[in-house]
C-alpha cells in the first residue's frame, strides 16, 4: 500500500511539474521569438510529447489516486478521491476539451501563434493549478 501511495504522489508531482514548466518557461520562451519559429517549435513539441513518459503521469495520476482511495479507509481515502477528481477534471478534461483542440488547430495552420499562446497558456495554467491541488491532496492523504 505504501508503494502505491508513493507512486500516486510521484505521478501527481510529475504531471504538475510538466505543466508548470510549460507555463513558466516554455511558453514565455516561445513568445520571445518570431511567431513562425514559435509555431514550428510548438508543433514539434506537441508531436514529441506524445509518448509513454507523458501518458504514464497524465493518465496514471488520477487512476492511481482512485485505486489508492479505494484501497484506503478513513480520511485518507477522501483525500485520494479529491486528488483523483480534481486531476481528472482539471488536467484530463481541460486537456481534451481545450489544449488538444488548440494544438490541432496550430498544427493545421488555422490558429496563429499570437492567438494560440495566450489561450493555451491560460488553460495550461489552470491544469497546473489543478495538478498542484491534486498533489497537495495526495500529500495530505499520506499524513493519515
Q: Residue 60: what pLDDT?
A: 98
pLDDT band at 124; cut points 50, 70, 90: very high
As a dihedral over the C-alpha atoms of residue 63, residue 130, residue 116, residue 108, rounded to 10 degrees, the angle is 10
Q: Residue 126: what pLDDT?
A: 98
- Smallest CA-to-CA distance from 68 within 87, 47, 43 is with 87
Q: Residue 117: what pLDDT?
A: 98
- For the chain, give the longest Cα–Cα distance: 54
CA dist 51 and 111 (Å) reads 24
Q: Name the grid cell of 41.
A: 517549435
Q: Residue 3: what pLDDT?
A: 97
Q: What's the average model confidence in pLDDT over 83-102?
A: 98
Domain ranges of the chain: 2-142
- Smallest CA-to-CA distance from 7 within 64, 51, 62 is with 64
Q: Residue 72: what pLDDT?
A: 97
Amino acid at each position: 500500500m505504501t508503494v502505491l501511495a508513493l507512486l500516486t504522489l510521484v505521478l501527481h508531482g510529475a504531471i504538475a511539474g510538466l505543466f508548470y514548466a510549460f507555463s513558466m518557461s516554455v511558453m514565455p520562451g516561445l513568445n520571445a521569438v518570431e511567431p513562425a519559429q514559435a509555431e514550428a517549435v510548438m508543433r514539434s513539441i506537441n508531436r514529441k510529447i506524445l509518448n509513454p513518459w507523458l501518458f504514464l503521469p497524465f493518465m496514471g495520476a488520477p487512476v492511481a489516486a482512485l485505486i489508492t482511495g479505494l484501497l484506503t479507509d478513513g480520511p485518507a481515502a477522501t483525500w485520494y478521491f479529491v486528488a483523483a477528481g480534481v486531476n481528472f477534471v482539471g488536467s484530463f478534461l481541460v486537456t481534451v476539451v481545450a489544449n488538444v483542440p488548440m494544438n490541432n488547430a496550430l498544427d493545421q495552420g488555422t490558429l496563429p501563434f499570437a492567438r494560440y499562446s495566450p489561450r493555451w497558456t491560460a488553460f495550461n495554467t489552470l491544469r497546473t493549478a489543478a495538478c498542484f491541488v491534486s498533489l497537495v491532496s495526495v500529500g495530505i492523504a499520506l499524513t493519515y
